[in-house]
């Protein structure tokens, strides 16, 4: 069984020129739930002056008609964002940093060490509140500013978060630099280091056209949790030539074609991608939606 975290309402929209209203974002989330998606990264608690596409997360969360069995997650970058997130009905809190100093400075205005120390503290705070959390390690497969990233460093940061109490780690290819062999190597090292007691997820962007190939490489290496974005939307406002995430409906189609279950209604998902295309008033990158 494949477990998908749909990041379209957050990562998918944060780089869009057309800003969707609170009601449009709520409608997107509800359509995704209706298609069978069981985990959705719905909002981000960031400064609306920096990322206006993510403004009013509290209103979005309050407006969702929740569905039994669907996990709603929100992204937090710092302690101020965590305070806001803990005042909502979020099921899971996502923390993120870039393991590249140059990228992390642009994205969070902190060194990697500063972000790691702050996230360790936030993981402990969340544990006291009894909420689960996940840590997303951006630029884990390469950085557009620094180039290659040390796998040892990725594993050391993962270890610190795990020791702080985080049981879910996602390795993210923020700007699409990964290749399938690299993915298999790092995934194998992760499982060799931490076993399977820690949930490992993968997050790929399609900048160089290798996104879905990297998903398959991760699957072959044993990963069953993947991030993806409806219509292939997405991209980081701080990344040069940022391109969208692996497309959810294309990834679901790949798994279904191989006889691997996702629990998702593909036709309904494609309809949602076409709906989002109309809201954003631009052609989206997904392939399956172009066949309908």
Give the pLDDT confidence of 197-233 residue by residue, as tens digits: 899 999 999 989 999 999 999 999 999 999 999 999 9
Active-site entry in 5, 133, 166, 236: 236
Element (DSSP H or E) covering residue 6: strand 3-6
Cα torsion at 172, 133, 190, 140 (round to 10°)? 20
Which tens digit of pLDDT belongs to each residue from 106-146? 878 889 999 999 999 999 999 998 899 999 999 999 998 99
Is residue 103 within 8 Å of 238, Cβ to Cβ?
A: yes
Count of positions (residues) in the chain: 292
pLDDT score for 114:
95
The pairing of strands 39-45 and 168-173 is unpaired
For the chain, list the domains and their CATH numbers. Answer: 3-291 (3.20.20.70)
Q: Is 236 a catalytic residue?
A: yes
Is residue 8 within 8 Å of 28, Cβ to Cβ?
A: yes
Q: What number of other Cβ atoms are within 10 A of residue 68's Cβ?
A: 4
pLDDT score for 128:
92
Which tens digit of pLDDT belongs to each residue from 34-91? 999 999 999 999 999 989 999 999 999 999 999 999 999 999 999 999 999 999 999 9
pTM of the model: 0.97
- The pLDDT mean for the chain works out to 95
Q: Nearest 5°: CA angle at 265, between 257 and 22?
A: 130
Is residue 174 within 8 Å of 239, Cβ to Cβ?
A: yes
Is residue 21 within 8 Å of 283, Cβ to Cβ?
A: no
């Amino acid at each position: 069984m494949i477990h998908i975290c749909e990041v379209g309402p957050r990562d998918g929209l944060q780089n869009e020129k057309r800003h969707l209203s609170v009601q449009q974002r709520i409608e997107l989330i509800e359509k995704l739930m209706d298609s069978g998606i069981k985990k959705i990264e719905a909002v981000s608690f960031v400064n609306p002056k920096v990322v206006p596409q993510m403004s009013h997360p509290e209103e979005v969360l309050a407006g969702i008609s929740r569905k039994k069995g669907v996990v709603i997650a929100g992204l937090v970058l710092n302690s101020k964002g965590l305070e806001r997130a803990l005042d909502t009905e979020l099921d899971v809190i996502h923390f993120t940093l870039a393991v590249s100093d140059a990228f992390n400075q642009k994205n969070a205005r902190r060194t990697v060490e500063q972000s790691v120390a702050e996230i360790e503290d936030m993981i402990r705070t969340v544990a006291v509140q009894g909420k689960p959390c996940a840590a997303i390690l951006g630029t884990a497969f390469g950085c557009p500013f620094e180039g290659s990233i040390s796998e040892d460093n990725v594993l050391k940061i993962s270890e610190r978060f795990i020791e702080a109490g985080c049981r879910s780690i996602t390795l993210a290819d923020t700007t699409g630099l990964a290749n399938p062999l690299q993915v298999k190597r790092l995934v194998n090292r992760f499982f060799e280091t931490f076993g399977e007691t820690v949930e490992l997820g993968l997050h790929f962007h399609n900048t160089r056209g290798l996104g879905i190939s990297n998903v398959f490489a991760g699957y072959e290496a044993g990963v069953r949790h993947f991030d993806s974005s409806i219509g292939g939307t997405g991209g980081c406002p701080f990344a040069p030539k940022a391109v969208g995430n692996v497309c959810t409906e294309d990834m679901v189609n790949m798994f279904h074609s191989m006889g691997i279950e996702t629990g998702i209604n593909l036709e309904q998902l494609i309809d949602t991608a076409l709906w989002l295309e109309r809201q954003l008033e631009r052609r989206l990158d997904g392939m399956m939606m172009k066949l309908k």
